[in-house]
Amino acid sequence: MIGAIAAWFSHLNDTTGINFTIFYDPFDASRFLQGFWLTLALSGVTILGSVAVGVIGAWGQGSPFMSLRAIVRVYVELFRNTPPLVQIYFFYFGLSALLPAGHNAFGMRQPLIGGFAWACVSLILFAGSFNVEIFRSGIEAIPVATTEAAESLGYTRLQTYRYIVLPLALRICLPALTNNLVNLVKTTTLAYAIAVPEMLYVSNQIWSESENVPEMMVVLFVIYIALVGVLVAAMHSWERALRVPGLGR
Amino acid sequence: MSRLMPVILHNRAPAPAITLRAWHGLALGGLVLLSGAAADAATGAAANTGVFMTLARWTPLLLEGFALNILISCLAMAIGTALGIALGLGLISLFAPLRHASWAVMQFFRNAPWLVLLFFMILLLPYHLHIGPLAFALPDWLKAVIGLALPVMANVAEILRGGVQAMPAGQWEAGASLGFTRAQQLWLIILPQAFRQMLPPWMNLYAILTTSTTLASIVGVNDVVTRAGQVLAAEGGRTDLLAPIYGYVLLMFFIYTYPVAWGTRRLEQRVRVRR
Amino acid sequence: MLKKLAALAIAASLGGIAHADELQAIKAKGVLVVGVKADYPPFGYLNPNGQIVGIEPSLAANVAQRLGVKLQLVPVVGANRLQFLEQGKIDLLIATMSDTPEREKVVDIVHPDYYASGYNLMVAKTVDVKSWSELKGVPVCAIQASFYNKEVEQKYGAELVAFTGVAEALTALRQGRCDAFLYDDTAIEGKLSDPQWADYDMPLQTQDAKPWGLAVKQGEPAFAAFMSDTIKDWDKTGYIQTLEQQYHVRPSAFAAQMHKQFAGS
């Protein structure tokens, strides 16, 4: 059946000039698939990492220690107000040069942390800073009466955060969080700038060899929309499952 | 009593957020320049002119590119917000076909990567636009503006929907019981309150947009990142220049975007309604 | 009345689509818009005043001089140079573009070709590599959208790590993210003349020397013929070799051969 699909697309190219090489050329097909898996991996890792960073950071922002609050504040402002593309360059080129390195077979210096890892680190920190702000706005939207009630029941700050504030804040800020995670999945395309062979990087190679830019664009569009659609559907069903009567409409 | 005070006190209002002051930005700038000097010292600066001098020499060119980034971000935000409000109203409409159509449009532009949209606009839009006898040129950066305005539109629509949905049900009910029509409820009761809720994510979006204008460098717009690459090539690919020049670009964006973020927070605090 | 207005509108818009002969149009508007590289020394790069200079901008200036019009340079990159030409954003493309059949389908590449280069590897002198077949599984830095990337990957099994710009690729090379840099031999020579890269060399044979073509939009026979004559004149007078000397590029066999071929005519 795969052979039939390949033959059909090859025929399509010969007759109309609409060229979907990824369907009939085995080299292109295999590397495009690898690019797809890598995009999935990048998305998964960065989503989990950035939400974790957001939760921890939002807790840190309410800390009684000024140094902790300052650290979180500086981190958030730095990563929110600078371009992610330039951040990635900074990590991959600038920072990696300062870290200790190993040696390869030729005896030359070889960095220990690869492009994929740096892309993950950079994107987690980038999206995490936005998540901290999103959780903060969710926390502040909780009526003061609720936190005061928790305090009067003897909850410590951590317990209040974990059992009362965080669940409520999550429900309030879920639309904004979904928004940010969607942006994150799309931002994974930036990893191509440091030669991580994700989907856009592979598509770039393919369309500059075969001069079939529009076709590859369509494929990219469809796949990303589908990916994000799945994420949004999952977040919406989570939102529905979490719904508390009386909170919002 | 003194033992209870910490418990009572620290569960009170959230600890005051540290606000960054202008001197923090200058400190960051100082750090970048210091690292440039360190790079200088490390390489011995034998054959090459110092990193400082190089950055200073190329600054006017870089700033020109940066100005283009700012222009793109402002125009894209303006166009995107206008379109987004219209789309957002369609999203919360009670008229089902309109709601579904708006939802489809929003999903499409929200789910597409911004870079792919940019490529699409660069390829799809013609170089000249003809309206009757008039013909005007559509330069690349303008196509980038349109390309960026579309996802902004989708995000603004979603922000509007989210803001309206976060309003307590009681507000709608109170309005209905006082005899307001749906449109009146929306414009006189819900939206003014929801506006406060919507402002932070909207300013958030502007921050994302401004930093995303660097994507235009990938589609060939002559912005600050492209110029940084050209400067590096003109300097012979010096590796000691790479971190300082990107740090310099980061600094430019920080200096521009941080006051916007700070202004947002001030605005947010002033209009906050404590329930 | 409405029908008249509609007809007028259609005629006006159609008038915009149909265009006069490109050559005449350029002479009439008095400006020649040429797409060149701005990040590929010595063929096209920025000087501190922000002007694009190099071998190809010089060639473009020569063309403008022959047409008696002013010159406007537009920086292009591999990803957008063909689209710019197709859409009419530039009249002429001189941007280190190799003459391939896929590109011939999209734009009109003028013959004879004006230059040639193949691909080669820049490796550290300490790395001992004697033939291309030793590259299997070796990480090699490259520039995205180079047409020879696929060939090197498939034929020699190298693991390509492709970046958007030369500066990034060279930094990656220095930092050990790859063991060699795959690029045009002419560009590598330009790099090797820089004392910063004294510990690097180009030990292997240049592969697949492909001619470079400059291009005009499809369907412009008069302009294409004019450019063809211009190139022949450049070869005849040795103008290209003069530029090679001026920009410190190793004299290429291709330029010498073309000069010999056209010198007599």
pLDDT at residue number B236:
64
**Chain C residues contacting A, CB < 8 Å?**
78-79, 82, 102-103, 105-106, 124, 126-127, 141, 144-147, 149-150, 154, 161-164, 168, 171-172, 175-177, 179
Q: Which residues of A touch C180 (CB under 8 A)?
A: none
pLDDT at residue number C86:
84
Mean pLDDT in each 10-residue stretch from start to end of chain C (265 residues)? 55 45 86 88 79 91 91 84 84 88 86 86 86 87 83 87 79 83 83 77 80 89 90 89 81 80 74
Instruction: Could you please state the CATH topology (level 3) that the domain comprising C118-209 is classified under.
Output: D-Maltodextrin-Binding Protein; domain 2 (3.40.190)
Q: Which residues of A touch C124 (CB under 8 A)?
A: 108
Grouping H, G, I as helix, E, B as strand and the rest as coil, residue B103 is helix
C-alpha distance from residue A210 to each of A12, A17, C18, C46, C105 (Å): 15, 11, 30, 30, 11
Grouping H, G, I as helix, E, B as strand and the rest as coil, residue C14 is helix
Considering only CB atoms, A64 lies closest to which of B15, B167, B247, namely B15
Class of A29-242 in CATH: mainly alpha
Contact C142, C109 (CB under 8 A): no
Contact B222 C75 (CB under 8 A): yes
Contact B119 A217 (CB under 8 A): yes
Considering only CB atoms, B261 lies closest to which of A66, A80, A229, namely A80
Considering only CB atoms, B116 lies closest to which of A64, A141, A224, namely A224
Contact A7, A24 (CB under 8 A): yes
Q: Which residues of C touch A192 (CB under 8 A)?
A: 144, 164
Residues 207-226, chain B, touching A (beta carbon < 8 A): 207-208, 211-215, 217-218, 225
Q: Chain B: residue nearest C17 by CA?
A: B130
pLDDT at residue number B11:
46
Q: What is the DSSP letter of B272?
A: -
Nearest by Cα to C191 from C262, C128, C132, C141: C141
Amino acid at B258: Y
Q: For chain C, which residues make up each domain, given as ranges?
A: 18-114+213-263, 118-209
Nearest by Cα to A175 from A138, A229, A125: A138
For chain B, which residues score pLDDT lower than 50? 1-2, 4, 7-13, 15-16, 43-47, 275
Considering only CB atoms, B237 lies closest to which of C12, C89, C167, namely C167
Asked if A99 has any chain C CB less than 8 Å from its own CB, the reply is no
Alpha-carbon span B198 to B221, nearest angstrom:
32
The two domains C18-114+213-263 and C118-209 share their CATH topology (first three levels equal):
yes
Amino acid at B55: L
Grouping H, G, I as helix, E, B as strand and the rest as coil, residue B226 is helix
| Percent helix / strand / coil, chain B, rounded to 5 | 75, 5, 20
Instruction: Give residues with Cβ within 8 angstroms of B96, minimum separation 6.
Output: none
Alpha-carbon span A118 to A196, nearest angstrom:
10
Amino acid at C256: A
Asked if B59 has any chain C CB less than 8 Å from its own CB, the reply is no
Query: Cis peptide before A245, with omega less than 30 degrees from 0?
Result: no
DSSP C52-75: EESHHHHHHHHHHHHHT-EEEEEE
Nearest by Cα to C223 from C76, C16, C47, C67: C67
How far is B254 from chain A, CA to nearest CA, in Å? 5
How far is B45 from chain C, CA to nearest CA, in Å? 11
Residue C251 Rama label (left phi>0; alpha psi -120 to 50; beta): beta
Q: What is the DSSP letter of C148?
A: T
pLDDT at residue number B44:
45
pLDDT at residue number B191:
86
Q: Which residue has the tokens 């002479």?
A: C27
Instruction: Give residues with Cβ within 8 angstroms of C187, minimum separation 6.
Output: C40, C41, C43, C117, C166
Alpha-carbon span B249 to B214, nearest angstrom:
10
For an interface test with C, the pick among B62, B119, B134, B230 (most C C-beta atoms closer than 10 Å) comes out as B230
Contact A58, A170 (CB under 8 A): no
Q: Which residues of A touch B272 (CB under 8 A)?
A: 140
Contact C9 B132 (CB under 8 A): yes
Alpha-carbon span B144 to C115, nearest angstrom:
34
DSSP B124-166: HS-SEEEETTEEEE--HHHHHHHHHHHHHHHHHHHHHHHHHHT
CA B219, A34, A41 angle in degrees (round to 5)?
Answer: 85
Question: In the Cβ-directed half-sphere of B123, how many Cα atoms lie within 13 Å?
Answer: 17
For chain A, which residues score pLDDT lower than 50? 249
Q: Chain C: residue nearest A99 by CA?
A: C175
Nearest by Cα to C37 from C88, C89, C100, C79: C79
Instruction: Give residues with Cβ within 8 angstroms of B177, minimum separation 6.
Output: none
Contact B111 A224 (CB under 8 A): yes
pLDDT at residue number A154:
93
DSSP chain A: -HHHHHHHHHHHHHHH----HHHH-HHHHHHHHHHHHHHHHHHHHHHHHHHHHHHHHHHHHT-S-HHHHHHHHHHHHHHHSS-HHHHHHIIIIIIHHHS-EEE-TTS-EEESS-HHHHHHHHHHHHHHHHHHHHHHHHHHTS-HHHHHHHHHTT--HHHIIIIIIHHHHHHHHHHHHHHHHHHHHHHGGGGGGGT---HHHHHHHHHHHH--HHHHHHHHHHHHHHHHHHHHHHHHHHHHHH--TTS--
Q: For chain A, which residues make up each domain, given as ranges?
A: 29-242
Kindly state which CATH superfamily the domain B60-271 is placed in.
MetI-like (1.10.3720.10)
Size of chain B in residues: 275
Q: For chain B, which residues make up each domain, given as ranges?
A: 60-271
pTM for this model (two decimals)? 0.73
Grouping H, G, I as helix, E, B as strand and the rest as coil, residue C92 is strand
Q: Which residues of A touch C130 (CB under 8 A)?
A: none
Contact B206, B73 (CB under 8 A): yes
Amino acid at A187: T
Between chain A and chain C, the number of residue pairs with CB atoms below 8 A apart is: 69
Structure tokens at B22: 């202008």
Between chain B and chain C, the number of residue pairs with CB atoms below 8 A apart is: 87
Q: Which residues of B touch C89 (CB under 8 A)?
A: 127, 140
Alpha-carbon span C81 to C75, nearest angstrom:
9
Structure tokens at C175: 């930092």
Q: Chain B: residue nearest A130 by CA?
A: B204
Alpha-carbon span C262 to C240, nearest angstrom:
13
Alpha-carbon span A220 to B116, nearest angstrom:
8
Grouping H, G, I as helix, E, B as strand and the rest as coil, residue B28 is helix
Contact A93 C150 (CB under 8 A): no
Give me the CATH code for the C18-114+213-263 domain, please: 3.40.190.10
The dihedral formed by the CA atoms of A104, A110, A115 and A117, expressed in degrees to the nearest 10? 90
Contact A249 B172 (CB under 8 A): yes
Q: What is the pLDDT of residues A79-97, one digit of tens each?
A: 988 999 889 888 887 777 7
Contact C113, C211 (CB under 8 A): yes
Contact A77, A155 (CB under 8 A): no
Contact B116, B127 (CB under 8 A): no
pLDDT at residue number B126:
67
DSSP C163-209: ESSHHHHHHHHHTTS-SEEEEEHHHHHHHHTSGGGTTEE--SPPEEE
Q: What is the DSSP letter of C162?
A: E
pLDDT at residue number C147:
75
Q: Chain B: residue nearest A77 by CA?
A: B258
C-alpha distance from residue A249 to each of A144, A170, B103, B167, B170 (Å): 20, 16, 18, 7, 9
pLDDT at residue number A1:
78
From the number of C-beta atoms within 10 Å of its C-beta (0-12, 13-18, 19+), residue C201 rates as middle
Partner residues linked to A101 by β-bridges = A111
